[in-house]
Amino acid sequence: MNIKAIIFDWARTLYDVESEKEFEDAEDVLVYCKSKNYHLGLVSLIDKEESIIDTTIESRNKQIGNSSLKNYFEKILTTEGNKDLIIEEMIKYFGFPNNEILIVDDRTIRGIKYGDKHGCQTAWLQKGIFQNQLPNNETGDPTYVIKSLSELKGII
């Protein structure tokens, strides 16, 4: 694997929106990624229709802005619209071929689906409330399936 950049999802990947705190292993994984000189980007979608937590783009940006994790990212993008668009913007920002970008997400129907359709490598964090949203013909299969964020260190 020749990964140069990693795009992380925020909610339920690095940050537990239910308990309103970073996952315990999030900072350790980001420190590891930076030590390996990966370029890091953060994307976050506020989905009003599917969210069980009432949030706005302003509250999500504040949540990220108040987190020490923000310091590990070169670019942070949030949207209430189409997550694919901010992933595309992040990929353009990095300027690497898609196959040199890894997308880490807890939802197969979002980041994993985008990555599979556009030639990126993908790591599905299969935990939390969406762990049973299994890959299918529409989403494609993730390159990697991890049960905890820490497992990422073993595959990059």
User: Tens digit of pLDDT for each residue in 92-141?
Assistant: 999 999 999 999 999 888 889 999 999 999 999 999 888 888 888 888 89
Higher-scoring residue by pLDDT: 133, 2? 2
Q: Is the pLDDT of residue 78 over 70?
A: yes
Residue 111 burial (10 A CB sphere; 0-12, 13-18, 19+) = buried
Residue range(s) defining the domain that contains residue 63: 5-154
pTM beyond 0.95, yes or no: no
Task: Look up the CATH number of the domain holding residue 111.
Answer: 3.40.50.1000
User: Tens digit of pLDDT for each residue in 49-67?
Assistant: 555 566 789 999 999 999 9
Q: How many domains does the chain have?
A: 1
Nearest to 17 by CA among 62, 73, 77: 62
Calculate the CA 134 to chain-centre distance: 17
Average pLDDT over residues 70-74: 98
What percentage of the chain's residues is helix, strand, coil (to nearest 5)?
Answer: 35, 20, 40
Q: Looking at residue 41, what is its pLDDT?
A: 98
